[in-house]
Amino acid sequence: MVNAAATTLFEKLIDENPEESYEKKFNGFSTVNHMQDSILKDLSYLLNTRVSSLWKRIGNKVPYSYGVNITAPSSAENVFEIQELESKINDAIEQFEPRLINAKSQVINFGNDSSCIFVNIEAQVIFENRKVPLSFPIILDT
């Protein structure tokens, strides 16, 4: 089984020391908790980045399509809008977070105002050649 804990997108893009020509090689995470924290941070970036539906139609996995095109459901009782929101989240995770296996999102709750949505993402990751189930609670600002 291949270790899917590859260098994250943001770790590849950020050069903390431009004077040094060779960055340290990423050797993986020391614990599952470190990996979970890294994925949670990247998921928060991904799901709180808005993208135009135009870029989503043009093509997936291109830099301009990074993010999600979501709005808050009109009410907590609108099942169809909640399912559509969960579907868009799942699609974005599938496209831009390869470390997660069988990721499924679920809208848990709404904040006091309609612009805050609490989502939980259940998935598996490969850590030390075994599948580990993890949970990622995220707050979406819509």
What pLDDT sits at residue 37? 93
- C-alpha 54/C-alpha 46 separation (Å) is 17
**Residue 15 carries which side chain, given as an amino acid letter?**
D
Domains of the chain, residue spans: 29-141
The CATH architecture of the domain made up of 29-141 is: Roll (3.10)
Residuewise pLDDT in 10s, the chain (142 residues): 444 445 555 665 555 666 665 555 555 778 899 999 999 999 999 998 887 666 556 655 556 677 787 777 777 778 888 899 899 999 889 988 989 999 999 988 876 766 788 999 999 999 988 999 999 999 888 7
Q: And the tokens for 32?
A: 């599952």
pLDDT at 36: 93
The reported pLDDT for the residue numbered 108 is: 87
Distance, CA of 93 to CA of 105 (rounded, Å): 9
* Cα distance between residue 111 and residue 102, in whole Å: 27
What span, in angstroms and rounded, lies between the C-alpha atoms of 119 and 141? 11
Q: What integer pLDDT is reported at residue 110 of this predicted model?
A: 78
Q: What pLDDT does 101 receive?
A: 95
Query: Rg (Cα) of the chain, in Å, rounded?
Result: 16
Q: Among 41, 68, 44, which residue's Cα sits nearest to residue 56?
A: 68
